[in-house]
Amino acid sequence: MNGFIGTALMDDDAGEAANLNYWAYWVGEMRHMEQSDDFIADRTPRPWPGDKLLAHLVQGLAPHHGYVDLNIHTLWSLLQIRPNLLRSGVAARALRDRLPVMLDSQEISSCGRRELESIRYAIRLAEA
């Protein structure tokens, strides 16, 4: 999973956008049904709020999940383009509560840990 994140997502803005477009569609952020998968390749994420995606990703922040590093990276990526999500709603509060548990876990990769630390710093800035 870390190899995929490092090569297909982090090294490529198109990969980051495709990952967010896919997740946003999958969790129901987009208002319209897509007739093909072409929207996933759009280099710019479509205009969707992000609340549902944030809530979904926060629920998936559990150290024992095999895809936790993908959830962490997608969450980090989401907050890069939608930092206002840290100021709103139940999911943002749940994220604040879950971060210490995640950072204390031994199952998180070093990359995942760096991204979680970055998210924690962004939360501090949003609360200031």
Q: What is the pLDDT of residue 1?
A: 42
Domain ranges of the chain: 2-127
pLDDT one digit per residue (tens) for the chain, 128 residues: 444 444 445 556 777 888 888 888 889 888 777 766 666 666 666 678 999 999 999 998 998 887 888 899 999 999 998 999 998 777 788 888 899 999 999 889 888 999 999 999 998 888 77
Cα 120 to Cα 32: distance, rounded to the nearest angstrom = 33
Q: According to the model, what pLDDT value does residue 41 have?
A: 67
Are residues 99 and 116 in contact, defined by beta-carbon separation less than 8 angstroms? Answer: yes
This model's pTM is above 0.85:
no
Question: Do the beta carbons of residue 107 and residue 64 sit within 8 Å?
Answer: yes
75 touches 57 (CB < 8 A): yes
